[in-house]
Structure 1
Amino acid sequence: MSMNGRYARLTPAELERTLRDPGWGEEFVNELADADWDEQREASAARCHGTEKAWHALDFLLGRIGFPIDIVHGEEDIPGAEDWGHSPPCILSPKAVHMAAEALTALPVDALVRDVTPADLALADIYPVEMWERGESLEYVTSRYQALVPYFQAADRAGDTIVVWLQ
């Protein structure tokens, strides 16, 4: 079973209900994800988004450059929430989403992976290690990064909170 990075944009009312009832939030987010999948929405229009197995490499790459917001794991727990797969959901407040959107917009993809090779990711034990040991291209990670930029920009424009978890 693989671990995949997941995101969901919530309005203030949806967040409030999720904070009161995390189980409702999980069901609601699953419905949003199904609708996005069925409609094949672009990242800028989607309410839910995923980085697939690139989440750990993104965490590593963003961490090494001192990215100001933890967009991979979130910054605040949802009290009482159980795991939504491999981790409990955490939130990025509208303020954190705004800061992240600005930082993502300012960070070109080549700067994210500058001086990093698949061998470096394998040596750092970055999930999925087998991928990096085979020497697969960092394009897998950079394409997921590039899709995060419009997703966060859209969430910022809407004033949404983003819920983050590993599924």
Structure 2
Amino acid sequence: MSMNGAYLRVRPAELGWALGDSAWAWSLSEAAQDLQEESRPSPAEARHFTTHKTWHLLAFLTRRAGFPVDLVHGEEPAFTDDWGYGPPRLLTPAQVALAADALHRTPYDQLIRGVDPGELTRAEIYPQIWDSPASLEWARDFYTALVAFFGGAASAGDALLVWID
């Protein structure tokens, strides 16, 4: 079983419900995923997003770059129910805006500049595929989509639930 980074956009009017009832929030996530399978929205319009297995590399790179929020793991506990590999965490609308700005200002080439694949291997970055500098290209498309997803969420004033499943 693989580990995947997941996000759910939560509108301001839904945030109280989502934080007060994790089962309701989980149902919202499942409904968003089902709808997206049918409609295929752009990342900027999507309610649910996944970075698949690139989550750990993106966490490493954004932390290394000094991003102002932890956009891969979230900042604050949302609730205690486990959604895969632990409970989801929250990014408030203000934190989403900070992250979106940092993402927008940081092209992928800048994010990977000076990264040695051996450093990723030593840090045990999941999955263990770091055999050459070209392996860093694996996450480029996911990063591009993540930039658009956060931009859409920030523009709408949405919060995000973030988890690994």
- Using structure 1 for the length normalisation, give the TM-score: 0.93
Residues 16-56 of structure 1: CA deviation (Å, up to 9, x unaligned): 11111111111111111121122222101111111000000
Please state how far the C-alpha of 1:118 moved relative to its aligned partner: 3.0
CA distance in 2 between counterparts of 1:30 and 1:87 reads 17
State the aligned residue count.
Answer: 165
Which residue of the partner structure matches residue 40 of structure 1? 40
Question: Which secondary structure state, in structure 1, belongs to the residue aligned with residue 83 of structure 2?
Answer: coil
Residues 83-105 of structure 1: CA deviation (Å, up to 9, x unaligned): 11112111100000111111111
Unaligned runs of 5+ residues in structure 1 are none
Question: For residue 33 of structure 1, what is the amino acid of its counterpart?
Answer: Q
Asked if residue 2 in structure 1 is aligned to residue 27 in structure 2, the reply is: no
CA distance in 1 between counterparts of 2:54 and 2:117 reads 12
**Would you say the 8 A contact 1:119–1:135 is kept in 2?**
no
| Segments ≥4 residues shifted beyond 6 Å | none
Unaligned runs of 5+ residues in structure 2 are none
CA distance in 2 between counterparts of 1:153 and 1:65 reads 19
**Would you say the 8 A contact 1:68–1:100 is kept in 2?**
yes
Question: Which secondary structure state, in structure 1, belongs to the residue aligned with residue 126 of structure 2?
Answer: coil
Question: Which secondary structure state, in structure 1, belongs to the residue aligned with residue 100 of structure 2?
Answer: helix
CA distance in 2 between counterparts of 1:24 and 1:116 reads 41
Please state how far the C-alpha of 1:133 moved relative to its aligned partner: 4.0
Cα RMSD between the aligned structures? 1.4
What does residue range 36-115 of structure 1 map to in structure 2 within 5 Å? 36-79=36-79, 81-115=80-114
CA distance in 2 between counterparts of 1:57 and 1:38 reads 29
